Amino acid sequence: MSTTIERPATAAPVTHVGRPLDRIDGHAKVTGAARYAADAPVGDVLYAVIVQSTVAGGRIAEIDETATRAVSGVVEVLTYRNAPKIPAFPFDFTVPFAEQLAPLQSDEIHYDGQHVALVIAETFEAAREGAVLLRITYAPGPFQATLEGAHETELPDNFFGNAMQVRRADPEAAFAASEITVDATYSTPVENHNPLEPSATVAQWRDGELIVHDASQWVLGSRAAYAKAFSVDETQVRVLAPYIGGGFGCKGFFWAHQTLAAMAAKVTGRAVKLVLSREQMFTSVGHRSSTRQRLRLGASRDGTLRAVLHDVQGESARVGAFFEPAGVVTPMLFAVPALSVSHRVAKLDIPSTTAMRAPGETPGTYALGCAMDELAYACGLDPLEVLRRNETETDGESGLPFSSRNLLACYERGAEAFDWSARTHAPRSMRDGGELIGWGVAAATYPAMRSRGEARVTIDAAGTIDVASATHDLGTGMYTILAQIAADALGADPRAIRVRIGDSAFPLAPVAGGSMSSASIGPAVHAAAERIRREVISIATSAGASPLHGLRADEVHVVDGILRAKDDPARAIAYADVVRLGGSGALEALGVAEPGKEQEEYSFHSFGAQFVEVRYDEELARLRVSRALGVFDCGRVLNAKTARSQMIGGIVWGIGMALLEETVRDDRYGAVVTNNLADYHVPVNADVPAIDVLFVEEPDLKFTALGARGMGEIGITGVAAAIANAVYHATGVRVRDLPIVPEKLLGGAAQAAWRK
Amino acid sequence: MRAFEYVVADSSAAARALAREVGAARFYAGGTTLVDLMKADVERPQRVVDISRLPLTAIERRGDVVRIGALARNSDVAYDATVAQAFPAVSEALLSGASGQIRNSATIGGNLLQRTRCTYFRETRWRCNKREPGSGCDALDGFNRGHAILGTSDACIATFPGDLPVALAALSAHVVIEGDAGERTIALEDLYLLPGDEPQHETSLAPGELITAIELRVEPLHARSHYLKVRDRASYEFALASVACAVELDGGRIAQARIALGGVATVPWRAVDAEAALAGAPPDDSAFRHAADVALSGARTRAHNGYKVELAKRAIVRALRTVCGGAA
């Protein structure tokens, strides 16, 4: 096996990359052939159901298992009294434990929804019945589950490499001296991910080895966590996640239910299947923190920013460490000479917050995007013009130039496609029949990240091309783009390529997070496939029995898996025949790609512009998004269809964030009350209008040879701001508190306007 | 969910007998409410009596009365030509509810008995007088954005969640009930009980009684009817406020009007005083607004549902304006 390390260099020639190829895994998914974690074909399986605490603090006083154990089929009940001991989790993010606590290790309660028991039975029904019959009595203790009154606050310095307390020049003085100022506080609620597939784990111990079918966005991270939790070597653990029914961040870290499934399998000596209920998903796999963001913008009369002060308050679990870095975009998105960003994090007795699609950027672009709109109105200027006037070519935080930044082009193409020039400036000035119309705009951004990634490409004597990497497909199209990349490098048909991912036994891949999978694994696949092609051509031109014998490598090209002499197409040989000529049975190459010194020379970010139209039936306070357009600059587009779908998904979620989504806790109990999809509203089809997506496509060759920056998360950024700005334009009311539900439009100014 | 006995009934008499044999029995028709609540451990029937195969699905017109079998599916009733023409509010109410899949499963009789979406009712961890009489009500001082402002008590503010019964209330529908003593027919409004001190008692059905049909009268008033539903999202959601109304115009005046409210009350709420206020009035916004003020005059709000007063009033005005053909 040979290894090739890819360095950003020249553009790779593309044929299949970029095309709107249908998902190669699409047929398997729609026919049910694709097996998700809970579908794992594991025989003789036991079912485990979790019981969660119903108090937010205190201790377990008493556990009565009598009725539970009397249910026919119940095999075991695990609580802190009999669960195997697990060493305290190391908590430095080297292993992705989401919470410090190993489950069922003590009688202490740290938050409402903490796992306190596991009922294991021969059938799901018996486990569920056993779970409702378990009687746990608590000695409740004090807890703090609201930002108000939080007595423990942290001022974090850093969030995964981003400074969280930032100062540039003298922002207070610059703000005070500004001709135009905006001072507004925006808030966003707790939100939950709610992927279609709830988290599920099927765990099995075999001869001291742990095999786990897991809904995991990070099979290697989960492998490391299982190994630590059960004190075994990582080589004794295999984690499989070939298909993931959406994750959005809630399957990136390692959660207590995963430990419980493996623990149950160990205790019973059987395979154990554990699927979280929808209700449990609200407390078991993290949530997005609520935020309060005060933004002070100081500007010249022409809308040019002189100072920005962005103060973020959010929450973090006492048992966790994650928080929402909502100020992360403020230092880099616009040209800002004087700046301050602060983050204050209240430590609360709640389940851990976690990454949720574009953590930081999503609430941050909302607040900043609204403040920019308020600034435009304070200056009497078109909001899009104010965005344009604050454009920068340099990342104000690092001082580095952006590798590629086409945000102005996004504004321009978007304005044209949306017909922005037809917008009239004054709030309440656009109508259609009985409805008020509002148009809003905001900038989108997300960093382009990559991590060391590896992929193995194999071609056997039957001509089968296999691509393997421990990366993941969350529904985003990873299978398909890896096939397209390999196909271009090999001169093969992408549909003839077998892609295998989501297995910790495969070559190294990072977490499917930070929108970095394509940029990390794509170049590795490319490098491995290129290597294979060179080897194949080398064999074909040197083996005596080859029709291409004697040619130089540059005299041969490969199309659809056939090598041909360029000047005599009749001289040809198929990949499979070359492999046979080589005599090794198969050719294999490991491609490795990793970031290099370009990281010190440039700032890598994607950008976009979100345009939204809302229609407002004022009498009924009925607000609907009627049109949305996102224009994105993400470098090269690897697959026009899956890229577009990913962006549409982000915009749909932005509609949910702006108008619908809120996880409500009953503050008296510190407990979630909207823990189901009837009370936690996500957009349904009828809420989603025609959405257009455009790409300003400039391959970012300073980033990788493929030139593609990640597309996972940018789609949602800026959407909520564009909607909130459109709502202001339609109604004349600034709602600075998401979601924008009818009662927030019925009060005060909106009501007065209707009464006229 | 707990283990339960499942039996299939081959006649309505057999169904009632099977239900009475055990202490806690439930009829199973479409299952869209019952199964959910069994999973949530809120409904704990010892025996589930499947009545879904009984021949109670017909929609028949006899003279001026349309009789809809209790097991007719919501979708079938919504798209029935007679219903859509003679009772537009009924068709609109049905189509505004749930999703296509649920409407294909849910039945008319079951829909009348749909239970509240109060989050404190639907999870056993909370205090709920409806679920556990005397335990208290966590909704009163909890998250009550969706809760009722009419017909409430100190024991319960749970909102009646349905759409169809609101339209049926406005159209003075009757409910046909089969019991040991034979068949009885009651006004729809008499089916529902206000929560009072005993919110566990939701209907006037006696143990073992079975709803077999509803009846609606064909008359001009009912043909000029409308159902308006206001909610957070555009589909697949319960009402924040809804209005069913019917109006009969006589020259430039309202001869008679019917108004019922959903999403804001503990039962399908007939606004009789508002109807009286409209009788003889011109069909204009001023009269509509006055009727709306009258309809909501008894509203009692809690921390998060105060907006429902104004929202319901506006919905009444809009619905009346719509049903009067924009006459205002």
ipTM of the complex: 0.97
- pLDDT at A694 exceeding the cut of 90: yes
CATH number of the domain encompassing residue A546: 3.30.365.10
Choosing from A594, A613, A628, the residue where a domain stops is: A594
Residue A612 and residue A513 share a domain: no
Residue A445 lies in a domain: yes
Contact state of A684 with B145 under an 8 Å Cβ cutoff: no
B238 vs A contacts (CB less than 8 Å): 678
Contact state of A678 with B238 under an 8 Å Cβ cutoff: yes
- pLDDT at A460 exceeding the cut of 90: yes
Residue B28 lies in a domain: yes
Per-residue pLDDT at B275: 98
The tens digit of pLDDT for each residue in A500-522 reads 999 999 999 999 999 999 999 99
The tens digit of pLDDT for each residue in A293-326 reads 999 999 999 999 999 999 999 999 999 999 999 9
B312 vs A contacts (CB less than 8 Å): none
Choosing from A594, A617, A640, the residue where a domain stops is: A594
Q: Does A172 touch chain B (CB under 8 A)?
A: no
Residue B140 lies in a domain: no
Residue B73 makes CB contacts below 8 A (sequence gap 6+) with: B30, B57, B103, B104, B105, B106, B107, B108
Residue B125: which of A54, A676, A678 has the nearest Cβ?
A54
Residue A590 lies in a domain: yes
Contact state of B311 with A133 under an 8 Å Cβ cutoff: no
A125 vs B contacts (CB less than 8 Å): 1, 3
Q: Report yes or no: B312 and B292 within 8 Å, Cβ to Cβ.
A: yes
Q: Which residues of chain B have pLDDT under 50?
A: 327-328
Residue A636 and residue A514 share a domain: no
Residue A544 and residue A455 share a domain: yes
How far apart are the C-alpha atoms of A258 and A218, rounded to whole Å?
13
**Mutate which of A49, A132, A625, A737 to disrupt the B interface (most B C-beta within 10 Å)?**
A132
Choosing from A540, A564, A594, the residue where a domain stops is: A594
How far apart are the C-alpha atoms of A50 and A351, rounded to whole Å?
15
Per-residue pLDDT at A90: 77
Residue A190 lies in a domain: no
CATH number of the domain encompassing residue B27: 3.30.43
* Structural domain harbouring B24: 5-50
CATH number of the domain encompassing residue B261: 3.30.390.50
Residue A455 and residue A445 share a domain: no
Backbone Cα Rg of chain B: 19
Which stretches of chain B are DSSP H helices?
12-20, 34-39, 74-78, 81-86, 88-96, 100-105, 108-112, 164-170, 188-191, 220-223, 272-278, 285-295, 307-323
The tens digit of pLDDT for each residue in A592-604 reads 999 999 999 999 9
Q: Which residues pair with A58 in a beta bridge?
A: A109, A140
Residue A313 lies in a domain: no
- Would you state the torsion angle of the CA atoms of residues A75, A78, A81, A85, taken in this order, to the nearest 10 degrees? 120
Q: What token pair was written down for A331?
A: 């230092």
Per-residue pLDDT at A756: 46
Helices (H) and strands (E) in chain B, counts: 13, 12
Residue A557 and residue A459 share a domain: yes
Residue A485 and residue A460 share a domain: yes
The tens digit of pLDDT for each residue in A530-558 reads 999 999 999 999 999 999 999 999 999 99
Residue A465 and residue A439 share a domain: no
Per-residue pLDDT at B325: 87
Residue B116 lies in a domain: no
Number of domains in chain B: 2
Contact state of B314 with A619 under an 8 Å Cβ cutoff: yes
More confident residue, A411 or A93: A411
Per-residue pLDDT at A509: 98
Residue A297 lies in a domain: no
**Mutate which of A673, A737, A751 to disrupt the B interface (most B C-beta within 10 Å)?**
A673
- CA angle, residues B94, B97, B101, in degrees to nearest 5: 95
Per-residue pLDDT at B42: 97
Residue A460 and residue A582 share a domain: yes
The tens digit of pLDDT for each residue in A117-165 reads 999 999 999 999 999 999 999 999 999 999 999 999 999 999 999 999 9
How far apart are the C-alpha atoms of A630 and A632, rounded to whole Å?
6
Per-residue pLDDT at A701: 96
Query: What are φ and ψ of residue A609, in 5° steps?
Result: -130, 130
A746 vs B contacts (CB less than 8 Å): 307, 310-311
Residue B317 lies in a domain: yes
Q: What percent of chain B has pLDDT over 70?
A: 99
3-state SS record for A474-510: CCCCHHHHHHHHHHHHHCCCHHHEEEEECECCCCCCC
Residue A129: which of B1, B143, B318 has the nearest Cβ?
B1
Number of domains in chain A: 2
Q: Report yes or no: A446 and A364 within 8 Å, Cβ to Cβ.
A: no
Residue B146 lies in a domain: no
Q: What token pair was written down for A567?
A: 């000047």
**3-class SS at A190?**
strand
More confident residue, A2 or A743: A743
Query: Catalytic residue positions of A?
Result: 713
Q: What percent of chain A has pLDDT over 70?
A: 97
Residue A571 and residue A646 share a domain: no
Q: Does A723 touch chain B (CB under 8 A)?
A: no
Residue A623 lies in a domain: yes
How far apart are the C-alpha atoms of A289 and A189, rounded to whole Å?
7
- CA angle, residues B25, B28, B30, in degrees to nearest 5: 155
Residue A659 and residue A536 share a domain: no
Per-residue pLDDT at B326: 56
**3-class SS at A119?**
strand
Residue A742 and residue A652 share a domain: yes
Mean pLDDT of A353-367: 98
Residue A420 and residue A487 share a domain: no
* Structural domain harbouring A580: 2-34+451-594
Contact state of A621 with B314 under an 8 Å Cβ cutoff: yes
Contact state of B41 with A132 under an 8 Å Cβ cutoff: yes
What pLDDT band is residue A749 in, cutting at 50, 70 and 90? low
Per-residue pLDDT at A753: 55
Residue A684: which of B143, B235, B240 has the nearest Cβ?
B235
Residue A517 lies in a domain: yes
Per-residue pLDDT at A89: 84
What pLDDT band is residue A584 in, cutting at 50, 70 and 90? confident
What pLDDT band is residue A425 in, cutting at 50, 70 and 90? very high
Residue B118 lies in a domain: no
Residue B85 lies in a domain: no
What pLDDT band is residue A265 in, cutting at 50, 70 and 90? very high
Contact state of A624 with B315 under an 8 Å Cβ cutoff: no
First to last CA, chain B: 53
Residue B236: which of A125, A621, A684 has the nearest Cβ?
A684
Length of chain B: 328
Residue B41 lies in a domain: yes
Residue B232: which of A132, A676, A742 has the nearest Cβ?
A742
Per-residue pLDDT at A261: 98
Contact state of B235 with A128 under an 8 Å Cβ cutoff: no
B41, closest residue in chain A (CA to CA): A132
- pLDDT at A646 exceeding the cut of 60: yes
Contact state of A666 with B143 under an 8 Å Cβ cutoff: yes
